[in-house]
Amino acid sequence: MSDSATRSNVLSFIGGDSKRPARGMAASSDANGERVRPDTWSELWRVVAAHVVELRNAGVIDDAGFSAIARSLLAARQSPAGEANSPRALAERLDRRIESQIPASVSGAATLGLAREEWLATAGRLTWREAALAIMAHALDVSEAVLVLAETHVVTIMPAFTGGRPVQPTTLAHYLGAVIGPLGSARGRLVESFTRLNRCPLGAGMLAGDVLAADRADVAQRLGFGEPVPNTMDALASVEDLIGLLDAVAALVGPMGRFVREVGIWIRTDPSSFVLDEGWTTIPEPAHPALAMSERLDALQIAMATLEDDLDSARRQLRRLGYGPLGAAHDTVIDAAPRLISPCLDALATANALFSTGLVVNRAYLGNRAGRGYTTAADLATFLMTEEQIPPTAARQISVLVLARLKEAGLEVSGITPDMIDSAALLTIGREIKVEIESLGRYLAPRRYIERRQVTGSPAPEMTRAWLADERARLTADRHWLQQTQVGIDSASEALTATIERAADESMDG
């Protein structure tokens, strides 16, 4: 079945294209089949460019020297980085290219006072900062898709399970709460971890600070950072800011992985409840066209489980690094970005497709299942206490007897009759109750069972709509944060490039 196919009133189809703001990293492959990777060369260039501007502001180099270095910087940026190398090797190559075009009068000035340690530490934060924003953009997409699905199914009733057994009726919107809530919390953790990650190490030197007394706050602002890391040792030695980001990513992936596994269980054990769109199914045996397999869903489960393991491994490895500036470990830290983030973005994009176009919900079937398995039986005692003024202990005893008779007869709760209740009442309180079947239905029918629950956060439609409205506002606020953050970083990058270009133009004019 295609996305545009006509759906019967039995099935509801949730669709829509995802519009994700473009950043420096992406989950998909480009037209040539090459993975889009963080541009370490450009990040290293931005660091040295900001350093050169600070040298000019501090009076270490004059206007003529600044212009000559700016022209060399532009030439180096436009030249290809060459074959893939470690970030440290790229920094050395960039240094040589800049130096190769600088006049002898300012030779060595471009990286004067710029230690490799702070250069790589700053480039690493720039790289992971881009990764964090790319993850946040995808997290917003997935959250939007799940929220739309929930908003569409506020009154779609279904059974909820505990330990594999039906326990109570609920709605699909309410059932999705264990995805929507954690996604919102994970986005909050991403924002919090980004605030700590978005601090600048530049000016820390090799660990004790720059002898040229650079204005670290000014340098941080020039690179779009929120502030400098307050302690220069912490700026070069700590890994906790990055671990905080990895923790947030794990908090994002984990709940979705759990729900994807749950969907897989539903489809395998109860294939009429949820149906996957044809884009999610394959027919491995042409001779058996009725055998449709959900291989894409299985692949997503494996990808998310693998990603969780990789994130755990990365956090452990980071904490095992020796105390002090990271040194050679900077290469590993920077190169870990595409290794971890690319599969993360792929998994999030696939999960987004599942929620937005891949999952078809059989409303009628789920509604029929909602009342089975004695899911509303607990309210029989409530009915007897509320409507018939039976004492609590007696009401529970009557309910137990009625339920035992139902199970013995192989009947569901809908099979309860006034005679069953009267028989149990005679044994318990010595008299018949003569309940009205219509009144009983207001307690035991799954939809009425749900509507009677008016506590905050319950599956009752009005309560669910209020909760979804709060989640929608939360999502809107997070989207605004991402847009504002992107604008601030992009503006800083454009201003830095413009400063270098103006200085280079002055050199050519002269």
* Domains of the chain, each with CATH number or no CATH: 115-368+467-493 (1.20.200.10), 377-444 (no CATH)
Yes or no: say if 1 and 281 are a contact pair by the CB < 8 Å rule: no
Choose among 218, 227, 177, 235: nearest CA to 198.
227
Whether the Cβ atoms of residue 337 and residue 36 lie closer than 8 Å to each other = no
Query: Given this model, what pLDDT does residue 14 score?
Result: 31
DSSP per residue, 145-190: HHHHHHHHTTT-EEEEEETTEEEEEEEHHHHTHHHHHHHHHHHHHH
Handedness of CA 389, 393, 398, 400 (dihedral sign): positive
What is the DSSP annotation of 272-338? TTEEE-GGG-B-S-TT-TT--B-HHHHHHHHHHHHHHHHHHHHHHHHHTSPSS--TTHHHHHHHHHH
Of 364, 1, 357, which is closest to residue 149 (Cα–Cα)?
Answer: 357
Q: Say what the pTM is.
A: 0.85
> Which of the two residues, 343 and 161, has the higher pLDDT score?
343
Instruction: Render pLDDT for 239-258 as a digit per residue (tens, 0 to 9).
Output: 999 999 999 999 999 999 99
pLDDT at 212 over 70: no
Task: Give one word for 430, left, alpha or beta, with left for phi > 0 and alpha for psi -120 to 50.
Answer: left
Residue 208 pLDDT greater than 80, yes or no: no
Q: Which of 432, 434, 450 is nearest to 442 (CA)?
A: 450
At residue 160, what are phi and psi to the nearest 5 degrees?
A: -105, 145
Task: Quote the percentage of the chain above a pLDDT of 70.
Answer: 88
List, for residues 198-207, the tens digit of each pLDDT value: 999 998 877 7
Tell me which residue has tokens 């790289």.
Answer: 127
Residue 8 has what pLDDT?
31
pLDDT tens sequence across 106-152: 888 888 889 999 999 999 999 999 999 999 999 999 999 999 999 99
Report d(CA 372, CA 452) in Å as an integer. 19
Q: Which two tokens stand for residue 65?
A: 């020297």
pLDDT at position 25 = 39
Which comes out higher in pLDDT, residue 4 or 254? Answer: 254
Lowest mean pLDDT across 37-46, 55-64, 305-314: 37-46
For the record, the structure tokens of 477 come out as: 């606020």
